[in-house]
Structure 1
């Protein structure tokens, strides 16, 4: 007797997939800062109902990736360099500390996982796939955070991930930035793999400063 399986897609699954696709579209620049999101067009593009779309939009609003203004509807927030600066300052506090801690305690099998994520980012950088670049870079850092030995540090960083990815997408949009990021991330990986705490911190800070500078150029070009 063949086993039975319930193949029905739940509304929750539809909502999660919708949030994921819209989030990627925002990160990769499909929707430009300041632009309005037309619900009827999004429903047609995504093949979903308006209630499902609105539920997804509320999730994205909670992540501060969109804003919903009464009588105007949803839109992509205009880029603020002040907010970007704050995000990069917090990233420096969290990621430099995490890189150093990770170098001191990461296990060999997790070093292999970190190398695998770096290879995935290298492929994304070569393909000029902006969405893949953002997501593979996030995967690289998630391994570092998961192995830093501080669950609260990881939790705080995860809470900022959507906005970090938003500005990472702006930074990666600059020509040549993905290749530069790859070289900087290789330095971070090599320091962690070698167990060099000081070098890991230094490489992480250098990477963040260069990413911040690239994001500033990108943001100023659209404001």
Structure 2
């Protein structure tokens, strides 16, 4: 007989709650690119200990959302247009392939989930909730990636999700961009639903290129 094992799910840890809150704050622009994160201030704002904060900051550093600069401490990366271009180029390679493969593989029940995720994004796009836009868009793509039939592709994309979401928040800060994103994502969904791989890939590429142009415009207007 195997030994008894306690499989009870424990409450979310302080570190994970801290990671989630700081990640959303970064996405929503609470911390400007290039700005320092003052640990003592964050501990007071979040109501946590410094060890808990530092553990959370290490997790965010692994996602490339913060940097640890010698003699300066943690800070938000001052991303360049070259950084942004590199992320969007990789995103195009991964997502266009995933969308095309998904159109040939997604089962009916998962297609229904994808439709619900699209509806959730449509609701977020019509609101002023920037965080909801980012999270619902990420949910839409997570279903596509989970049904592309290539777990390695999904794993690599998951490593970029935080930085993709960072730029997504910037691009959708432009007036009207969220509604345009919904229209483009609707095209992707319709192509997947009809099993049209060529149209799915074309719609995905169009969406990413327009998102990149919007992110660039947002970045230039902020400089």
Show the 5 A alignment for 1:64-103: 64-103=64-103
SS in 2 for 1:68: strand
Q: 1 CA distance for matches of 2:201 and 2:190? A: 12
Q: 1 CA distance for matches of 2:34 and 2:10? A: 37
Cα gap change, 1:115/1:8 in structure 2, threshold over 3 Å: closer, same or farther? Answer: closer
Q: Describe the superposition over 1:192-220 as per-residue Cα deviations: whole angstroms up to 9, x where unpaired.
A: 01111111111100000000000011112
Q: Describe the superposition over 1:64-107 as per-residue Cα deviations: whole angstroms up to 9, x where unpaired.
A: 10111122121111121101101111111110111111111111
SS in 2 for 1:48: coil
Q: 2 CA distance for matches of 1:35 and 1:13? A: 27
2:37 corresponding residue in structure 1: 37
Show the 5 A alignment for 1:1-223: 13-223=13-223
Q: 8 Å contact 1:31–1:76 — kept in the other structure?
A: yes
Q: What is the TM-score when the length of structure 2 is the normalising length? A: 0.93
2:5 corresponding residue in structure 1: none
Cα gap change, 1:57/1:191 in structure 2, threshold over 3 Å: closer, same or farther? Answer: same
By how many angstroms is 1:36 displaced? Answer: 1.5
SS in 2 for 1:30: coil
Q: Which runs of 5+ in 2 are unaligned?
A: 1-7
SS in 2 for 1:58: helix
Q: 2 CA distance for matches of 1:51 and 1:221? A: 37
Q: 2 CA distance for matches of 1:73 and 1:26? A: 17
Give me the CA root mean square deviation: 1.5
Q: 2 CA distance for matches of 1:104 and 1:23? A: 34
Q: Describe the superposition over 1:163-193 as per-residue Cα deviations: whole angstroms up to 9, x where unpaired.
A: 1111111111111111110100001011101
1:3 corresponding residue in structure 2: none
Q: 2 CA distance for matches of 1:173 and 1:44? A: 29
SS in 1 for 2:33: coil
Q: 2 CA distance for matches of 1:16 and 1:158? A: 17
Q: What is the TM-score when the length of structure 1 is the normalising length? A: 0.93
Q: 8 Å contact 1:39–1:53 — kept in the other structure?
A: yes
Cα gap change, 1:8/1:83 in structure 2, threshold over 3 Å: closer, same or farther? Answer: closer
